[in-house]
Amino acid sequence: MNFFIELQSRFLDFLPKLLLALVIFVISIYLSKIISATVRRALQRRTPVPNATKLLVDITRWGILSFGTIMAFQQFVDVTAFLAGLGIIGFTVGFALQDVMKNFASGVILLVQQPFRVGDSVAVGDYEGTVLAVDLRSTEIKTFDGRIAIVPNADVLNHVIVNYTNSLQRRIEVVVGVAYGTDLKLARDVALEAIHAVPGYLEDPAAMVVFKEFGESSVDMSVFVWFDTAQSSPLKARDGAIESIKLAFDAHNIEIPFPVRTMLVDK
């Protein structure tokens, strides 16, 4: 009789813990579905990489489920030692794979923040070109001279990222020298008029001519021109500016001198 009473007492003590553990586990399942679905929608709007999206969603779901399962087991046994063991194992694995984990974390940041997208023209460290792909380990860039660069994501984040595609307006500088006998005001006016022919030329911000220095054989000036990146590229804009300035100077008899060297030969 005492045995059944003790068994009943233990069952009554065990039942609330079992119910609480079930409630915790069910809530973790529910939260994992809601949060992973939210993460999926957010990532699908921001990243075109399906595999990366699936991986991050799975990590979110299983992370929440694992935490809920551990909290459920905590109602029956002390899992402190188990968690400590997992921590040691995680630290060991993380230390051994620190470069991989660093690139993975950097890839997650790039996919979430998106400082650039596939197809953007960017400069990252020593590489300038078009982004071909972004995954959780590396970023693939096709440089402007045709090379394919696979840059680890950690290196991408450690360098200044310049996104040329996001720059709707850009400025180029063309340096040109005129002879010392030139009317500088005329040279300035002719240059400012000539650069209207630059592909994608913008009136605002206004172009500017600044005389920089007295060179060996010329007075050197810089011509600053703003252009619309949707209509032209820096190479086309610079090419058009140089051609237009040269033609305009020729038409107004403005000399662009070149250095002259006198050689004395001892007979």
Split the chain (267 residues) into runs of 10 and give each run's mean pLDDT. Answer: 58 67 80 81 64 69 78 68 62 58 78 82 89 85 90 88 87 92 92 91 91 89 91 89 93 86 74
Of 96, 129, 153, which closes a domain?
96
One domain, residues 67 and 35: yes
Q: Per the domain annotation, does 104 fall within a domain? A: no
CATH number at residue 206: 3.30.70.100
One domain, residues 174 and 245: yes
Q: How far apart are the two ends of the chain, measured CA to CA in Å?
A: 134
Residue 192: per-residue pLDDT: 93
- What torsion, rounded to 10 degrees, do the Cα atoms 74, 77, 81, 84 define? -20
Of 136, 163, 190, which closes a domain?
163
Write out 162-212 in H/E/C secondary structure. Answer: EECCCCCEEEEEEEEEECCCCCHHHHHHHHHHHHHHCCCECCCCCCEEEEE
- Cβ-Cβ contacts under 8 Å for 219 (sequence gap 6 or more): 177, 178, 179, 180, 182, 184, 211, 213
One domain, residues 6 and 85: yes
One domain, residues 124 and 152: yes
CATH number at residue 88: 1.10.287
Residue 264: per-residue pLDDT: 76
Residue 251: per-residue pLDDT: 92
The residue range of the domain holding 188 is 169-251
Residue 117: per-residue pLDDT: 83
Residue 195: per-residue pLDDT: 92
Residue 15: per-residue pLDDT: 67
Q: Per the domain annotation, does 258 fall within a domain? A: no
One domain, residues 8 and 92: yes
Q: Per the domain annotation, does 222 fall within a domain? A: yes
Distance between CA 140 and CA 137 in Å, rounded?
Answer: 10
Distance set, CA 33 to CA 24, 39, 55, 65, 111 (Å) = 14, 10, 15, 10, 21
One domain, residues 137 and 222: no
Count structural domains, the chain: 3
Residue 188: per-residue pLDDT: 93
One domain, residues 174 and 159: no
